[in-house]
């Protein structure tokens, strides 16, 4: 899993605590999920919108997030190589693998995310 899309929240070498049992997602939560178009890839993104909320895609078109789906965005939006829901669309909640809750290594970066 590349953390390039999540810089500066996560840095190379960071180890994160992931809760596999989690409640209902909220805007701002950070999740690991299976990439919607490549099941071999795992992404980490922040929830930007919940079902039935309106968002904009890459073409600046309004999109209503479908039921049981999330709109996931990267923290590093400045990087042209970073992909998120603006590029590949909404993410089915069934693809969620776990909620990232804390950086646990290295010790000087130990904090809740």
Residue 92 sits in a domain whose CATH number is 2.10.109.10
| pLDDT at residue 78 tops 80 | no
Residue 69 domain-assigned (yes or no):
yes
- What's the domain count of the chain? 1
Residue 113 domain-assigned (yes or no):
no
Please choose, from the candidates 104, 101, 105, the residue with its C-alpha nearest in 3D space to the C-alpha of residue 21. 101
Cα–Cα distances in angstroms (integers) from residue 95 to residues 23, 52, 73, 80, 81, in the given order: 15, 18, 15, 25, 22
Confidence at residue 75, expressed as pLDDT on a 0 to 100 scale: 85
Residue 54 domain-assigned (yes or no):
yes
* pTM assigned to the model: 0.88
Confidence at residue 35, expressed as pLDDT on a 0 to 100 scale: 92
| pLDDT one-digit tens code per residue, 13-37 | 999 999 999 999 999 999 999 998 8
Domain that holds residue 32: 4-107
Residue 112 domain-assigned (yes or no):
no
């Amino acid at each position: 899993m590349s953390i390039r899309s999540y810089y500066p929240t996560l840095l190379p070498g960071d180890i994160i605590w992931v809760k596999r049992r989690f409640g209902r997602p909220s805007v701002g939560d950070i999740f690991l999920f299976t990439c919607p178009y490549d099941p071999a890839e795992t992404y980490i993104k922040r929830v930007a919108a919940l079902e039935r909320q309106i968002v904009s895609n890459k073409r600046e078109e309004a999109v209503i997030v479908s039921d049981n789906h999330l709109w996931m965005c990267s923290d590093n939006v400045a990087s042209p190589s970073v992909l998120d829901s603006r590029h590949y669309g909404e993410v089915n909640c069934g693809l969620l693998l776990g909620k990232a809750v804390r950086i646990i290594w290295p010790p000087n970066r130990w904090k809740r995310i």
